[in-house]
Amino acid sequence: MIAERATKVKPSPTLAVDSKAKQLKAKGMDVVNFGVGEPDFDTPEHIKEAAIKAIKDGFTKYTPVGGIDELKEAIIEKLEKDNKLTYNKENIVVSCGAKHSLYNIAQALFGPGDEVIIPSPYWVSYPDQVLLNDAIPIIVNTYEEDEFMLRPEVLKEKITSRSKALILNSPSNPTGFIYTENALKEIAEIALKHNLYIISDEIYEKLIYDNEKHISIASLSEEIKEKTIVVNGLSKAYAMTGWRIGYAAGHTEIIKTMTTIQSQSTSNPTSIAQKAAVAALRGNQNCVSEMRKEFEKRRNFLVQELNRIPGVSCKMPKGAFYVFPNISNIFGKKIDKNIINSSMDLSIYLLEKALVALVPGSAFGAEGYIRISYATSMENLSKGIDRISKALEQLI
């Protein structure tokens, strides 16, 4: 009954943990939710007002499929200013969130037999979006000791005549680490030599700490810019996850194809949300740095506290709002007759016994880790850490 393509994909595991936590909450349990993948802040006021104005002005009809000119121009200004990338309107398509942008790219570029290289730990939707387009995800390991940056020699080993693209995500969800300029240069060189497209998911670029800098791989040379599709959006930087605005920038022909695909599937992103996005991109950016500062404070606290727990070791990530502690030293420990043998075992134990929801590393293709989101209050962080620490003390 169901098409074979659709049987290959699974529901997003991060959303699955989130919904289990919500079920327990609905039963009246006081669950601390470290599973969330969205900022806990409210959308800034001036952005909401722009949307209200759009409604009142009657800006409530279909727009051009790939986004209104005003928003494309605001995106072009942003890419020029922040990333030193120069594009024209033909190089930009606005979609219903960065996830939708990524999906349109997969539809435009991938076909049966194409291999798409995905470094793990990866964001959960990359492999499934590849599978939905009959292509083959090729998962490549990265290592904690390299801050989870893809090693050039490991990348080279995985390249075949069928390799079509490489998906990069910096800052990374789930690890919080970022690629250095040198690492990006080495990857760009390999990509050009083997004619690989690079899909660069830069959705967390505004959430970077310790004066580190975000670098878009597309900005390294004109040649690599031609082969890169930059993906970004408003969800994480402006606390606008529900508004569903993301965008892609790249080669005219790819962008045109993505726009055509969009014209036959979703049509334009919401007119009102597009006006809000213009206000976000062109308005005062203090709201972004205020949220960034708060995230940084939480990160510092969380990493310090996690490293106090026996069996847990946590490197200081440089961006996004996740930490990705190594919990492999806990494997083999017991509670009653149950042995903790995987990150999933640990996550279930912590949810059921400590009422702390978090996502096992295995959901991101990386066993031996858990992902903790700090898109929640300091009070919740300290409550959750306390519970994790007490629950782990019970293991023998």
Query: Cβ distance 130 to 156 under 8 Å?
Result: no
The smaller minimum CB distance to ligand PLP, of residues 110 and 126, is found at 126
Give the C-alpha separation, 78 to 83, whole Å. 8
Query: Cβ distance 362 to 343 under 8 Å?
Result: yes
How near is the Cβ of 100 to ligand PLP at its closest, in Å?
6
360 binds ligand PLP (CB under 6 A): no
Options 136-144, 233-241, 248-256, 368-376: segment touching ligand PLP (CB under 6 A)? 233-241
171 binds ligand PLP (CB under 6 A): no
Q: According to CB under 6 A, which one of 107, 216, 235, 376 is a site residue for ligand PLP?
A: 235
Options 2-10, 53-61, 84-92, 232-240: segment touching ligand PLP (CB under 6 A)? 232-240
Specify the pairing of strand 370-373 against strand 359-360. Answer: antiparallel
φ/ψ of residue 385, rounded to 5: -60, -45
Type of residue numbered 4: E
Give the C-alpha separation, 246 to 101, whole Å. 6
Give the C-alpha separation, 128 to 135, whole Å. 10
The smaller minimum CB distance to ligand PLP, of residues 230 and 330, is found at 230
Longest Cα–Cα distance in the chain:
64
φ/ψ of residue 111, rounded to 5: -145, 180
The smaller minimum CB distance to ligand PLP, of residues 101 and 271, is found at 101
Helix (H, G, I), strand (E, B) or coil at 385: helix
The smaller minimum CB distance to ligand PLP, of residues 78 and 383, is found at 78
Give the C-alpha separation, 93 to 88, whole Å. 11
Give the C-alpha separation, 395 to 389, whole Å. 10
Instruction: Return the CA Rg of the chain.
Output: 21
Q: According to CB under 6 A, which one of 201, 205, 305, 345 is a site residue for ligand PLP?
A: 201
Options 18-26, 57-65, 229-237, 309-317: segment touching ligand PLP (CB under 6 A)? 229-237
The smaller minimum CB distance to ligand PLP, of residues 288 and 395, is found at 288
Q: According to CB under 6 A, which one of 155, 203, 207, 309 is a site residue for ligand PLP?
A: 203
Give the C-alpha separation, 90 to 87, whole Å. 8
# of chain residues touching ligand PLP (CB under 6 A): 14
Task: Give the footprint of ligand PLP on residues 23-42 (CB under 6 A).
Answer: 37
| Per-residue mark of binding to ligand PLP, 60-99 (x: CB under 6 A) | -------------------------------------xxx
Please identify the residue of the shown chain whose CB is closest to the bound ligand PLP.
97
Q: According to CB under 6 A, which one of 87, 110, 123, 369 is a site residue for ligand PLP?
A: 123
Which string of b and e fits 88-105 if b means at least 16 CB within 10 Å?
eeebbbbbbbbbbbbbbb
Interface residues with ligand PLP (CB under 6 A)? Answer: 37, 97-99, 123, 169, 173, 201, 203, 233, 235-236, 241, 246
